[in-house]
Structure 1
């Protein structure tokens, strides 16, 4: 059984809906060979990363940057996982009130330093809330889990 770790910052009702959509997509009944673990960034540990086969990150855009909680997660995890998880497949969704460019750039820099590989391009959900944001995140997570199960990641 492979393990997909979802680390998602969800400080509001809408971001909780996105986190839940990610969990739903990753746990789709058609994907039987992947176990999903969903955690808030402040609760996730380096051991969670070491035990996973892929990771999906979710963050808000905060002052043109990732959430402080996700940054804290990276700060606590960077060196403990640096060598052990090179090549880890990853994906990202950003809930951006503006354009999300700074947030994406910051996460991409850390992912590059960790040597993780993008399974899919980061998904940026821009502007006012749209109901299809949930479906987009659910599809992102389902695709990541299905790719992991199929062994193509």
Structure 2
């Protein structure tokens, strides 16, 4: 029997994508350490490609997105809106984790994502990681980002935790 972890991400400037990649690397490292082989299926998908069948096929989820104007990024929110009712009451109890990249705060996006996951009756396995990118000027906000190594390590740990829980 195969266990699937689905990592859904959206990124405008690269930070949330880097966090999703770190989580994927951490998840794969744990699966390799546990010698999961064909028992573990890791799917990393941009939010705009995720359909209800992807959510239904997964046993657990990691969401990675930026906060934009004190809310979850539009593409991630659209993904969740598009799929919400198609999977409602069909994914209850599945574990999830989340990562929000933010200029400074991230709390608005965190609350929004956690409310959606509560509606889906998903089970949080860790507090949402809010990655402060400290971008405060229009130029810094729009510039490509490089996530500091310590935050990437936290993302990898989160991915490894979810993989270990699933396996």
Q: Output the TM-score relative to the length of structure 1.
A: 0.92
Aligned-pair CA distance for 1:34: 2.2
Distance in 2 separating the partners of 1:146 and 1:106:
27
**Structure 2 counterpart of 1:2:** 3
Q: Distance in 1 between matches of 2:126 and 2:17?
A: 22
CA drift of 1:116 comes to 0.8
Match of 1:88 in 2: 94
Counterparts of residues 1-153 of structure 1 (less than 5 Å): 1-28=2-29, 29-31=32-34, 32=36, 33-128=39-134, 129-149=147-167
| Mapped contact 1:5–1:49 kept (Cα < 8 A) | yes
Q: Partners in 1 of 2:114 and 2:126 — Cα distance?
A: 12
Contact 1:27 1:35 in 2 (8 A): no
- 78-87 vs 22-31, which moves further: 22-31
- State the Cα RMSD in Å: 1.3
How far has the Cα of 1:39 moved from its partner?
0.2
SS in 2 for 1:61: strand
On the 8 A contact 2:16/2:100 being kept in 1, the answer is no
Cα distance in 1 for residues equivalent to 2:153 and 2:75:
24
Shift of 1:16: 2.7
Equivalent residues, number:
149
- Structure 2: give runs of 5+ residues left out of the alignment: 135-146
Q: Normalization by structure 2: what TM-score?
A: 0.84
Task: Kindly provide the CA deviation profile for residues 109-132 of structure 1, in whole angstroms up to 9, marking residues without a partner as x.
Answer: 111111111111111112435331
Cα drift, residue 26 of structure 1: 1.4
Q: Which runs of 4+ in 1 moved over 6 A?
A: none
Counterpart CA distance in 2 for 1:15 and 1:107 is 14
Instruction: Tell which structure's C-alpha radius of gyration is larger.
Output: 2
